[in-house]
Structure 1
């Protein structure tokens, strides 16, 4: 026990450096004393991010703006001596919730169309169809696998076969409100209940468009900083 204790105490001494075969070795494990880095705070708008950059609150050193996704942008510094970055700020979009590829009751679907989507022609057509379906009328649904037809009110006191629009071009809120929301195609389906669902049908192309829109907005808003080399924007 005494021998082991003495060996442990000796081991606490200064590390010795040795060279062998052109490489450098230490007889003890060394721990790097890292340069401290900043931790981010969060804003929820692109305008808030732009205001932060323009304020030079944390200095005027060059920063990189990374458009991570349609709902996230980060602000980081250049690499330090430890090959790490200060992480100054993160912008996260606050968006209304709509779950694609899931079924909604006609009432909830109607409300969601009006609160989570920007008005356009296809949205208005869908509202008319969904708003005129009743529980007993859903029993007479025809479906050829691509398009559907349902019995709905077509006048004050009459009903008739109404074709369900499909596919539909809609503009949901899916990125920061300061930029144009991408329009894309969706498959609109109805089933007994009655209930409705939307399925994305553009292969995710809207994400690239949204990222490009964010990048363009930042370039315009931070034109002087970009030209001066203080801000680099990547997407």
Structure 2
């Protein structure tokens, strides 16, 4: 224990520099004292991010906007002498919750269709089908593995065969509300319960469209700053 303590005390002494084979060596490990960098605060809209950048509140010479995903955009500074960046702001989209690949009962599914999706023809057809089926009717479904047909009310007192659209083109709210919500294909399925589910069928291509929509919005909103070289956008 005494030996280790003495070694620790010796190690606390001033570092000595030695030259070996044309290189400088220290007899102690050295740690770089890096310049401090800013931590981000969070906004939840693109308009808030644009307002911050236009105000130049932090007196930045330049900034980089990184569209990291359909729901996240960051604002950072160029690299400093330590190869680090100030992290000024992070914008995170607030989007309603809808779980794909999950079965909902018809009441919950009906509400989710109306609150989490942009109005469209396919959405309206699905609402009519989902709102007019019962458990017994789903059990007598006609299913060829791709499309389904169920017996549903088509009038006040009549029933008829209604084909369930498949695939369906829908635009869920899944990026910032200031930009166009990208439309993509989904597999719509039903089973006894009755229960309904949507399964994504575009391989994630919607994410590229959403990022592109964000980039276009920022370019239009920050045109002057971009032209004067104060802001760069990476998407």
If the length of structure 2 is used for normalisation, what is the TM-score?
0.96
**1:133 matched residue in structure 2:** 133
Equivalents in 2 of 1:108, 1:209: separation in Å?
28
Alignment CA distance shift 1:7-1:200 (3 Å): closer
Equivalents in 2 of 1:78, 1:67: separation in Å?
16
If the length of structure 1 is used for normalisation, what is the TM-score?
0.96
What's the CA shift for 1:4? 5.5
**1:154 matched residue in structure 2:** 154
SS of the residue corresponding to residue 207 of structure 1 reads: helix
What's the CA shift for 1:73? 0.1
Whether 2:33 is the aligned partner of 1:33: answer yes
**1:182 matched residue in structure 2:** 182
Alignment CA distance shift 1:3-1:173 (3 Å): closer
**2:91 matched residue in structure 1:** 91
Q: Flag structure 1 segments of 5+ consecutive residues without an equivalent.
A: none
Whether 2:108 is the aligned partner of 1:108: answer yes
SS of the residue corresponding to residue 212 of structure 2 reads: helix
Equivalents in 1 of 2:9, 2:114: separation in Å?
73
Note the 1:1-235 alignment, pairs <5 A. Answer: 5-235=5-235
Equivalents in 2 of 1:18, 1:67: separation in Å?
48
What's the CA shift for 1:10? 3.0
SS of the residue corresponding to residue 206 of structure 2 reads: helix
What's the CA shift for 1:204? 0.7
Native 8 Å contact 2:139 2:191 kept in 1: no
Quote the RMSD (CA, aligned, Å): 1.3
Cα shift readout 1:168-213 (whole Å, capped 9, x = no counterpart): 1011101000001101111100001100000111111110000000
Alignment CA distance shift 1:153-1:56 (3 Å): same
Alignment CA distance shift 1:118-1:23 (3 Å): same
Cα shift readout 1:39-95 (whole Å, capped 9, x = no counterpart): 000000000000000111101310100000000000000111111100000000000
Aligned positions, number: 235
